[in-house]
């Protein structure tokens, strides 16, 4: 088992990564608050892994209230959140109940927001089962739901007490979802970890083929990078850089997701194409060479990810990006690369250069 910590003073918590962790009672016993757990999962993940986890919880003497939601980003809504509150109240869950998220980022974000708000906040544990959730969404305490007018518009910061990533769960993950998670893994290399980027270039086929040791290492390096970023800028208030760097490719990516209709492309796929736009723009600003651009494109392609953005029309991209949370005081603050392994937040890119970069990355 690999272990690292998110060093948030009095809210410090461990991230455990390894095979078979859902069946190991030791970690759970140490971090379970009280003798009651509400396990929030969905109709895809629960049949695969809920029994395994419930058995372990029962072994440590905890009562289990399962709450099973329909699967999908379209259910990351107020209605699902309300269904969680209803189930917690019906089961008479009190503040001694620990909320456990068993699933991907959708379940993690929903369960975390429920934990942040139920009875003004109850303890929370993340058990991520997608690669994206194991390397990104389960760490750092961002929780929330979508609003019809925008993704992740309602939410709270609520740190978990424990993140437990059982790498065995990745065996059942569809390949497209695995690749989508790799987009976020590659992000860490690009924004701050050039040695990890080189390691990824050497091992990407092994990751795509689900080599357990390689995946565990990639998850550990990703979480170590994310933990450092979160500790330095928990609430994303840094004027430059900071937690916002995690949004490399996301402003363009969100525009792709919204422009095509949510669910057409996976989040990680849109982030990959969005990363190519950011890389192309960084090249046009004189920071990256054409060889750098080719290097990133090749790595994303080998990870099974799209490297061309859909042809939505440049004006439509600007319209969609104007709704992004990264617009501050009407200014679009993009994450770009000064070099491979060195991300920056940048609000001074000329509109016409952004338009050229988008056009250069779109399908003919
Ligand atoms: P997801 O939760 O929708 O999971 C993807 C699919 O895989 C779903 O159908 C799910 O049921 C299925 N699945 C999950 N685990 C499985 C397994 N082990 N075997 C088989 N199928 C499995 O999507 P995701 O990519 O994990 O997360 C995306 C969400 O995460 C978005 O809502 C995004 O906004 C959010 N997110 C949050 C943060 C954060 O910091 N809080 C960061 C990044 C993304
Ligand atoms: N995934 C973005 C963040 O956690 O800040």
**Local confidence band at 328 (pLDDT 50, 70, 90 cut-offs):** low
Residues 278-299: tens digit of each pLDDT: 999 999 999 999 999 999 999 9
Least confident window among 256-270, 327-341, 350-364: 327-341
State how far the Cα of 17 lies from the Cα of 163, in Å rounded to an integer: 8
| Nearest ligand for residue 155 CA | 1
Q: What is the pLDDT of residues 142-162, one digit of tens each?
A: 999 998 878 889 999 999 999
Return the percentage of the chain with pLDDT > 90, whole number: 90
- Mutational test site, ligand 2, from 143, 184, 223, 246, max ligand atoms within 8 Å of CB: 246
Is 43 in a helix, a strand, or coil? coil
**Average pLDDT for 327-349:** 89
- The reply to whether ligand 1 has any atom less than 6 angstroms from the CB of 82 is no
Catalytic annotation on 254?
A: yes
Query: Tens of pLDDT along 85-118?
Result: 999 999 999 999 999 999 999 999 999 999 999 9
**pLDDT in the model for residue 364:** 59
User: Distance between terminal CA atoms of the chain?
Assistant: 47
Residues forming beta bridges with residue 144, ordered by sequence position: 155
- Predicted TM-score of the model (pTM): 0.96
* C-beta of 142 in contact with ligand 2 (< 6 A): yes
Q: Are 219 and 165 in contact (CB under 8 A)?
A: yes
Considering the domain 175-361, what is its CATH architecture?
A: Up-down Bundle (1.20)
User: Is the CATH code 3.60.21.10 the one for domain 2-172?
Assistant: no
Residue nearest to atom 43 of ligand 1 (CA): 137
- Ligand 1, atom 5: closest residue by C-alpha: 104
Please say if the pLDDT value at position 37 is more than 70: yes
Mean pLDDT to the nearest integer, 330-354: 93
Kindly report the CA angle at 92 between 89 and 93, in degrees rounded to 5? 85
Please tell me the residue having the least CA distance from ligand 1 atom 30.
105
Query: What b/e string do you get for 106-135 counting C-beta neighbours within 10 Å, with b at 16 or more?
Result: bbbbbbbbbbbbbeeebbbbbbbbbbbbbb
Q: Is 246 in the pocket of ligand 2 (CB under 6 A)?
A: yes
Q: Report the pLDDT value the prediction gives residue 332, as an integer from 0 to 100.
A: 86
CATH 3.40.50.1970 in the chain is located at 2-172
Q: Considering only CA atoms, which residue is closest to atom 2 of ligand 2?
A: 246
Q: Nearest ligand to the C-alpha of residue 46?
A: 1
What atom of ligand 2 comes closest to residue 139's alpha carbon? 4
- Closest ligand by atom to 248 CA: 2
């Amino acid at each position: 088992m690999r272990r690292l910590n998110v060093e948030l003073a009095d809210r410090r918590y461990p991230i455990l990564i390894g095979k078979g962790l859902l069946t190991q009672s030791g970690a759970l016993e140490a971090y379970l608050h009280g003798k009651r757990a509400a396990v929030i999962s969905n109709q895809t993940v629960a049949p695969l892994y809920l029994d395994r986890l419930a058995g372990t919880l029962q072994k440590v003497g905890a009562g289990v209230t399962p709450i099973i939601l329909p699967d999908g980003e379209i259910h990351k809504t107020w209605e699902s959140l309300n269904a969680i509150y209803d189930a917690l109240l019906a089961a008479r869950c009190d503040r001694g109940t620990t909320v456990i998220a068993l699933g991907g980022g959708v379940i993690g974000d929903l369960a975390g927001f429920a934990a942040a708000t139920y009875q003004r906040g109850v303890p929370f544990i993340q058990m991520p089962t997608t690669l994206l959730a194991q390397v990104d969404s389960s760490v750092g305490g961002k929780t929330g739901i979508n609003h019809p007018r925008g993704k992740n518009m309602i939410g709270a910061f609520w740190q978990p007490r424990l993140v437990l990533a059982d790498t065995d769960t990745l065996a059942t993950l569809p390949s497209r979802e695995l690749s989508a998670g790799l987009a976020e893994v590659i992000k860490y290399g690009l924004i701050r970890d050039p040695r990890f980027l080189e390691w990824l270039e050497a091992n990407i086929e092994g990751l795509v083929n689900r080599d357990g040791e390689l995946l565990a290492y990639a998850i550990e390096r990703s979480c170590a990078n994310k933990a450092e970023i979160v500790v330095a800028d928990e609430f994303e208030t840094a004027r430059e850089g900071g937690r916002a760097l995690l949004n490399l490719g996301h402003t363009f990516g969100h525009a792709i997701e919204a422009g095509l209709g949510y669910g057409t492309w996976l989040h990680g796929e849109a982030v990959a194409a969005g990363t190519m736009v950011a890389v192309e723009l960084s090249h046009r600003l004189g920071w990256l060479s054409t060889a750098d651009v080719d290097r990133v494109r090749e790595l994303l392609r080998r990870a099974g990810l799209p490297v061309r953005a859909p042809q939505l029309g440049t004006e439509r991209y600007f319209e969609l990006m104007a709704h992004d949370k990264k617009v501050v005081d009407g200014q679009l603050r993009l994450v770009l690369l000064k070099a491979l392994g060195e991300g920056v937040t940048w609000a001074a890119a000329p509109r016409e250069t952004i338009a050229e970069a988008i056009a250069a990355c779109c399908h003919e």
